[in-house]
Amino acid sequence: MAEKEVRNKQLVLRDYVTGFPKESELYVTSNGTIKLKLEGDSKRVLVKNLFLAADPHLRPLMKKADNLSVLQSFTPGLPLYGYGVAKVVDSRHPDFEEGDFVWGITGWEEYTIISSFEHLFKIQHSDVPLSYYAGILGMPGLTAYSGFFEVCDPKKGEHVFVSAAAGGVGQLVGQYAKLMGCYVVGSAGSKEKVDMLKDKFGFDEAFNYKEEHDLEAALKRYFPQGIDIYFDLVGGKMLDAALVNMRVHGRIGVCGVISQLTLKEPEALKNAMCLVYKRVRMQGFNVVDYYHIYPKFLDLLLPQIREGKISCLEDIVEGLENGPHALIRVFSGHAIGKQVVSVANE
Amino acid sequence: MAEKEVRNKQLVLRDYVTGFPKESELYVTSNGTIKLKLEGDSKRVLVKNLFLAADPHLRPLMKKADNLSVLQSFTPGLPLYGYGVAKVVDSRHPDFEEGDFVWGITGWEEYTIISSFEHLFKIQHSDVPLSYYAGILGMPGLTAYSGFFEVCDPKKGEHVFVSAAAGGVGQLVGQYAKLMGCYVVGSAGSKEKVDMLKDKFGFDEAFNYKEEHDLEAALKRYFPQGIDIYFDLVGGKMLDAALVNMRVHGRIGVCGVISQLTLKEPEALKNAMCLVYKRVRMQGFNVVDYYHIYPKFLDLLLPQIREGKISCLEDIVEGLENGPHALIRVFSGHAIGKQVVSVANE
């Protein structure tokens, strides 16, 4: 009677990471097995993972939690977890059935039993590539959308700056800004990325922050009249430089602090006084507070994607074994576009 | 036919101030005269100044403008300007007539010709002391009201922290918070002020920040569950300590940066990352953006004041000659309650 057990390959954290994470701090194990049938009555869903998103927010979860973080760190010896796309193999939940495609928080492994449904969405539209639900139609897409439209409150013609603009979120914010009729400038860390922002994603301007010794002056050059909206994905020195360049009544959406994660001590902000002098609103946010607008987001995005008006660049690597490499590429800024790990075919 | 000229005593800035301002950097001159009749047709109002508010925001205007400030500095050799209460002596403006009482931006002098009306309000209710329009019913009152209700978005039962709580704005924020059914803690710089916050203004708790070597720990003591709203009047180290103690979805209304004005280099913020981890909104604001809600504010405040439910502590000094002393008292934190200079009787 017992259902056959199958191998469940997993990507596991070796131990809490200090400093910059290395590939060797993660390993893949094939020791585990899993039954492909759920037992008992508690609400759970068993999924086969198809795509896993190598998202920058996974980085701080590899460290032992400090008093600043409200997110739960990974547990050494257990697989990572994060956003991904999966297919339901068995379900004890009325909203999901075998064969459904879903996106949301799952494990970095071949099969996962999901028992918390706050972060799980059924995929209703599969005429677009499923991998999009790990990027433009998933968490990064909704993050960009909610951060730009709900937090930054854009108006036509406003001047928008996006940092880490070539990443999975940044490239979308720039495109949303263009859809709104804004002027948009992005910063990124290589010539290749800068070219991509202008040529592929329609940014009005872009610059390589590594070539600017004075970020304040760089922003002044691109925004002689000041910045209305700064979509901040990096924190630190760039945020400080943007503060000085904000226009009166400007808005800063603080989405991430990538630049700070490698540092022992975060870079301190010297220009916070600009908030009051320029009457600027600066708001930290997280996509989890915007799940309820996902349907509205899909209504806007799906037609734009089908018509090719909004595009996304994916970088899909095959196999869980390449997960560590993919993650370190993202953390070190070497990924171009949305880095996704393909775990299995449907 | 020519109208008689009268003396117009003025409080003048000697030269741009560097470092902490001294009384000697201001002087009173009686050399000027003014005709008590307006000539020509341009829209102007001639007022006799009654009360001038020694507001903390005047301090940075004594310095030569730096690139951070959007406010206009005072001009050496000319009188200071700021919020005050006055009586109309002559008017070439249809909304004002001789005998009206007004509050708004005027000169630190006996008589002022006002030609910009954005910052001028006619006083409709004179059953309360006129000096209140330099404090609780004027700019500081509206600042506290708009900052607390419009920017900080308070909800019943929330935990509120106010810095510089004994000042003209802070003492009102604390009282508004109590009206809303919030728990409110204030910080101030002396035992006398701390006692006043608890005994006179109904703060739940108050502490002397000068006696705390660890502000983060002090706030943790008063807010073991975290701060929902921080009404920031000081910036710097206190803001940094509050950031760490914010609750998820907390709001910080940034109203002033008193603590930073004495420093050559502003204290940098180390904990800005909390904005994203805690999804906190931090907003700089200025009362000028809220003039349109002044009628709503009066509707709420006047009954509360008449019934004694909201009170204010004034410290009125007599005579323009005492202006420099009053200003330095405010800048150095020695004023208790709203410092006002009485220039003339009606």
What residues in B contact A73, CB-CB < 8 Å? none
> Are residues B24 and B80 both part of a single domain?
yes
pLDDT tens digit sequence for B32-41: 899 999 998 8
* Disruptive mutation site among A265, A273, A286 for chain B (greatest number of B CBs within 10 Å): A273
Asked if the structure places residue A162 within a domain, the reply is yes
Question: What is the DSSP track for B245-297?
Answer: HEEEEEEEEE---GGGTT-SSPPPBS-TTHHHHTT-EEEE--GGGGGGGHHHH
> Are residues A146 and A279 both part of a single domain?
yes
Question: What is the DSSP track for A152-183?
Answer: S---TT-EEEESSTTSTTHHHHHHHHHHTT-E
- Measure A125 CA to nearest chain B CA, in Å: 31
Q: How far is CA B299 from CA B142, B151, B293, B306, in A?
A: 12, 19, 10, 12
* Disruptive mutation site among A146, A263, A275 for chain B (greatest number of B CBs within 10 Å): A275
**Least trusted range by pLDDT, from A26-35, A100-109, A124-133, A332-341:** A332-341
Asked if the structure places residue A61 within a domain, the reply is yes
- Closest residue, chain B, to A239 (C-alpha): B272
Using CB atoms within 10 Å of the CB of residue A192, give its burial: 0 to 12 exposed, 13 to 18 middle, 19+ buried: exposed
Counting every residue, how long is chain B? 346
**CATH code of the domain covering residue B84:** 3.90.180.10
Residue A57 has pLDDT above 90, yes or no: no
pLDDT tens digit sequence for A149-173: 999 999 999 999 999 999 899 999 9
> Are residues A126 and A241 both part of a single domain?
no
Give me the residue from A260, A270, A285 closest to B268, CB to CB.
A270
Residue A69 has pLDDT above 60, yes or no: no
H-run or E-run covering A331: helix A323-331
Total structural domains within chain B = 2
**CATH code of the domain covering residue A192:** 3.40.50.720
What residues in A contact B282, CB-CB < 8 Å? 275, 281-283
Contact B277 A284 (CB under 8 A): yes
> Are residues B130 and B148 both part of a single domain?
no
Contact A283 B272 (CB under 8 A): no
- Closest residue, chain A, to B151 (C-alpha): A281
Residue A68 has pLDDT above 70, yes or no: no
Torsions phi, psi for B11 (to 5 deg): -105, 115
- Measure A164 CA to nearest chain B CA, in Å: 16
**Least trusted range by pLDDT, from A22-36, A37-51, A152-166, A258-272:** A258-272
What residues in B contact A272, CB-CB < 8 Å? 235, 239, 254, 266, 268-269, 272
> Are residues A69 and A194 both part of a single domain?
no
**Interstrand relation of A227-232 and B81-91 (parallel, antiparallel or unpaired):** unpaired
Domain extent, residue B93, equals: 5-135+312-342
> Are residues A156 and A256 both part of a single domain?
yes
Q: What pLDDT was estimated at residue B67?
A: 52
What residues in B contact A67, CB-CB < 8 Å? 244
Contact B256 A271 (CB under 8 A): no
Residue A346 has pLDDT above 60, yes or no: yes
> Are residues B157 and B254 both part of a single domain?
yes
Question: Average pLDDT, whole number, for chain B?
Answer: 93
Asked if the structure places residue A12 within a domain, the reply is yes
Residue B1 has pLDDT above 60, yes or no: no
**What three-state secondary structure class fits A60?**
helix
Asked if the structure places residue A302 within a domain, the reply is no
Q: What pLDDT was estimated at residue A1?
A: 47
> Are residues A51 and A92 both part of a single domain?
yes
Contact A273 B248 (CB under 8 A): no
Tokens of B63: 């310095």
Residue B42 has pLDDT above 70, yes or no: yes
> Are residues B113 and B173 both part of a single domain?
no
**Least trusted range by pLDDT, from B108-112, B211-215, B307-311:** B307-311
pLDDT tens digit sequence for A100-126: 999 999 999 999 999 999 999 999 999
